[in-house]
Amino acid sequence: MSGPTALYRLDSGSGESVLRLAGDWGQAVRLPSAASVYRDIGHPRAVVIDGSELESGHPRVAAFVHALKQELGHAGVSVTERALPRDVAALMALASEPPARTERVLAKPHLVARLGLRFERRVRVARDAAALVGQALARTPALVTGRAQTRWRDFIELVRETGAASLPVVTVVNLLIGAVLGFIGAVQLATFGAGMYLADLVGIASAREMAAIMTAFIMAGRIGATFAAHLATMESNEEVDALRMIGVSPFEFLALPRLAALTLMMPLLYLYGTALSIAGGMVVAHIVLGTPPMAFIERLQDAVAARQFVIGLIKSVAFGVLIALTSCYIGLHAGRNAAEVGRAATRTVVVCIIGVISIDAVAALCTNALGI
């Protein structure tokens, strides 16, 4: 093993000293200290640290050079590095202080400029959303015929997640909503002696509005947020970029099966929720008004026409498409950090709820104008 003196050599010249580092610093037992070498150098105007004779770029060299540069810097000596190994130079770059930033005070953009930038962002979002809808319309036939770049195993798992796995919460919410409608209606209708019309209220409200809306809210909070968080995580982990690199369309592989699964399950969940909501109202009618279940069902058959269920089915399909496209769009356009995953899930729920209410309002205006 070589000693400290074999690891460096000092050549002094006119006003400049050259410190030549040599040997294998990784195998050395004793290393020279920066303080002792600084004393040997003396007080020249400049020092050149040469690493051309080093056998390896061990981190010990970087630590020694960094400490020696600090000693010489405090004394006002100019230090130049020459022919240091690449690994040592990289460690030295990491250890060096970053250059001081000069803060530039930028003038606040004019109001017109800020409005223009905001409008540009809105246009870009609208353009990307329209492109996503166009892809959905163009690639759905490929999914139906089995030509899409997706795996049926993933599709079946998504159907289970959006359908069977959502039944418990859909059951509880719709059953309680039907009971609440039944109780409020029973109290008000009993005042006028019109308790027999409770079946009309619960049946029409559940089939036409409440079952579809409440099921959509549940799916937005449970499935929409899950889809957005999953896709945002893949985006932050660069898995979406990896799919593009191997020639797989992220929309077909990730978004299209989610769109198909949710669109397929929403009408079924709506019908299931409608039945439970009516059942909840029937139980309340029997408890509060003493209406027999068979009398409630007979009145329900006369009061609720098939078109009420058709309206609810159309709404449920629209809600399913909205939730799926919104969650996939936000997830695929999320930022590349962990915080964006939570933001994507939250943004999806908020946008979906607003969208569901907006679609329901437009549908109510259209059906009222058509006299349905």
Look at 217 and 152; give whichever has higher pLDDT: 217
Q: Residue holding tokens 């799916």?
A: 219
266 and 150 within one domain: yes
Of 288, 325, 307, whose CA–CA distance to 188 is shortest? 288
Average pLDDT over residues 240-259: 85
Both 66 and 205 in one domain: the answer is no
Average pLDDT over residues 323-344: 88
Helix (H) or strand (E) holding 215: helix 211-219
Q: 127 and 67, same structural domain?
A: no
Contact 52, 82 (CB under 8 A): yes
Question: What is the C-alpha to C-alpha distance for residues 55 and 17, in angstroms, rounded to an integer?
Answer: 22
DSSP code, position 75: T
Residue 139 and residue 47 share a domain: no
Report strand pairing: 78-82 vs 46-54.
parallel
| pLDDT average, residue stretch 329-333 | 89
Are 267 and 190 within one domain? yes
Same domain, 270 and 159: yes
Q: What is the largest CA-CA distance in the chain?
A: 115
Length of the chain counted residue by residue: 372
Same-domain check for residues 88 and 139: no
pLDDT category, 105, cuts 50, 70, 90? low
Per-residue model confidence as pLDDT tens digits over 47-95: 888 888 888 778 888 888 888 888 888 878 888 888 888 878 877 777 6
- Write out the E strands in the chain: 8-12, 16-23, 46-54, 78-82
Give the tens place of pLDDT for each residue, 228-248.
999 999 888 888 888 888 878
Looking at the fold, whether 166 and 57 belong to one and the same domain comes out as no
Percentage of the chain lying above the pLDDT 90 cut: 34
Q: What is the CATH number of the domain that holds 83?
A: 3.30.750.24
Looking at the structure, do residues 29 and 146 belong to the same domain, yes or no? no
Domain boundary among 49, 76, 95: 95
Mean pLDDT of 121-150: 81
Q: Summarize the chain as % helix, strand, coil (round to 5).
A: 75, 5, 20
Q: What tokens does 51 get? A: 């690493």
Both structure tokens of 158: 């998504």
Query: Looking at the domain assignment, is residue 146 inside a domain?
Result: yes
Q: Do 19 and 155 reside in the same domain of the chain?
A: no
User: Domain residues for 231?
Assistant: 123-370
The number of folded domains in the chain is: 2
Same domain for 28 and 138: no
Q: Give residue 10's pLDDT.
A: 82
Q: Is residue 350 part of a domain?
A: yes
Do the Cβ atoms of 65 and 81 come closer than 8 Å? yes
Q: What is the pLDDT of residues 275-285, one digit of tens each?
A: 999 999 999 99
Residue 103 lies in a domain: no
**140-144, 199-203, 344-348: which range is least confident on average?**
140-144
Give 299-326 pLDDT, tens digit per residue.
888 888 889 999 999 999 999 999 999 9
pLDDT digits (tens, 9 = 90+) for 179-195: 999 999 888 888 887 77
Q: Is the pLDDT of residue 1 over 50?
A: no
302 lies in some domain: yes
What band does 2 get if pLDDT is binned at 50, 70 and 90?
very low
Average pLDDT in the chain: 85
Measured CA to CA in angstroms, residue 47 lies from 26, 52, 60, 68 at distances of 24, 15, 20, 10
Q: Is residue 116 part of a domain?
A: no
The answer to whether residue 16 scores a pLDDT higher than 80 is no
User: Which of 95, 115, 137 lies at the terminal end of a domain, its last residue?
Assistant: 95
* Residues 357, 365: Cα–Cα separation, whole Å: 12
- Comparing 27-31, 203-207, 322-326, the range with the smallest average pLDDT is 27-31
Q: Which two tokens stand for residue 110?
A: 């004019």
Domain membership of residue 108 (yes or no) is: no
Q: Please check whether residue 21 is in contact with residue 49, taking contact to mean a CB–CB distance below 8 angstroms.
A: yes
Let me know if residue 102 belongs to a domain: no
Whether residue 351 is predicted with pLDDT greater than 90 in this model: the reply is yes
Position 102 scores a pLDDT of 53
Does 235 map to a domain? yes
Indicate if 349 and 257 belong to the same structural domain. Answer: yes
Element (H, E) at 62: helix 59-74
| CB-based contact 48:33 (threshold 8 Å) | no
* CB 352, CB 253: distance < 8 Å: no
